[in-house]
Chains A and B, each alone.
Chain A
Amino acid sequence: MAKVLVVTSGKGGVGKTTTTAALGAALAQSGQNVVVVDFDVGLRNLDLVMGAERRVVFDLINVVQGVAKLPQALIRDKRLENLWLLPASQTRDKDALTDEGVGRVIDELRSRFDWILCDSPAGIERGATLAMRFADEAIIVTNPEVSSVRDSDRIIGMLDSKTVRAERGERVEKHILITRYDPARAARGEMLNIDDILEILATPLLGIIPESQDVLKASNVGTPVTLNNADSAPARAYTDASRRLMGEEVAMVVPAERKGFMDRLLGRRAA
């Protein structure tokens, strides 16, 4: 049965689009039929991170308004044949999206795909509420930092009240994905630690993605990080997270510093 998964956060710049692309690609790599949908109308970027920016003809709003049929707007990934993108409009206003219209498109996507990943815009306004509206599951992307955790808490409250599932008295399954985790700063007690974040948000952990140059490199070339450098630490963390989404038990790895303890001590003394 198809699953609609929203990737959300409240706060901007925490890694929603990177996460949508990386998890979408990882799920597709394991044989699932996946579509990633950009809900960031006016500020679309998922096309860019997926490397499909020059292939966009029609978009979500065109489909919602009946200007284009869904197959005309779907863009097939050049690397994985079972990975698709439904881009957002760059020019139109998000008010062009209605609840009913988006619901119809999501229903149609449900009949074609195993996974529908909705990349939410930042904020708690209409764009964000529409992205989560029809979700069965949610990934709340959180940085180990106070403002991000606060916004995540707010978004969790909305997932529990403003989604179709919540209104029917059902629950949206929620997962925390911690991104931009810096093991060195965590070891020095400069960064909120993972147990504290999970305790505060009272939501289970899907994965921990370390801060890494590989994420930037992948977006520079328009390839999801899980495809661009599959052996890199963030790619492995995303792949593990995708397997947990599919119900596999995968041991949680807390990213550690590569340097040894002595190096760390010496390094810190020198600094």
Chain B
Amino acid sequence: MSMRLLRLFGGREATAPVARERLQILLSHERGLLGQSDLLVTLREEILAVVSKHIQLDPDKVIVKLDRGKTVSTLEVDIEVPNNFDKKVSERRMAG
């Protein structure tokens, strides 16, 4: 409230909240990159192995991220599959 009043009088933007938000987003990303634990490496390999049984995957297109929050953490698994993945599998099945 006082901040808003000051802003009215000063006619200036409070830029601190923007700084805070940018930092929070950036750091949650950077921490993920730097602090990638063995757990994530293991998860990534095993997920890749399971999905690869059924769909041909580019290993680089499997991204596993863990975001640690205050109350809840999320495990994000992002797998990019080729458009014609189902055809290939069925073709292979026919051939097999």
A-side interface residues toward B, CB under 8 Å?
Answer: 145-146, 149-150, 153-154, 157, 186-193, 196, 200, 265, 268-269
Main SS of the interface on chain B? helix
B residues 36-61 touching A (CB-CB < 8 Å): none
> Which residues of chain B have a CB within 8 Å of any CB of chain A?
3, 6-7, 9-10, 12-17, 19-20, 22-24, 26-27, 30-31, 34-35
| B16:A150 contact, CB within 8 angstroms | no
Residue pair A150, B26 in contact (C-beta under 8 Å): yes
B14 and A146 form a contact (CB under 8 A): no
Task: Collect the chain A residues with CB atoms within 8 Å of residue B26's CB.
Answer: 150
Is B23 a contact of A188 with CB atoms below 8 Å? no
- A190: nearest residue on chain B (CB-CB)? B15
Could you list some 14 contacts between A and B, CB below 8 A? A150-B27, A150-B30, A153-B31, A154-B30, A187-B6, A188-B12, A188-B14, A190-B15, A191-B16, A192-B16, A192-B20, A265-B9, A268-B6, A268-B9
In the complex the two chains form, what is the Cα distance from A192 to B16 in whole Å? 5
Query: Which of A145, A146, A153, A189 has the largest count of B CB atoms less than 10 A from its CB?
Result: A189
The interface residues of chain A, by DSSP majority, are classed as helix
Whether the Cβ atoms of A268 and B10 lie closer than 8 Å is yes
- In this complex, what residue of A is CB-closest to B24? A200
Contact (A269, B9) CB under 8 Å given A146-B23, A190-B15, A196-B16: yes
Q: In the complex, what residues of A have CB within 8 A of residue B3's CB?
A: 189
* A149-B30 Cα distance, complex, nearest whole Å: 13
Q: How far in angstroms is the closest Cβ of chain B from A51?
A: 37
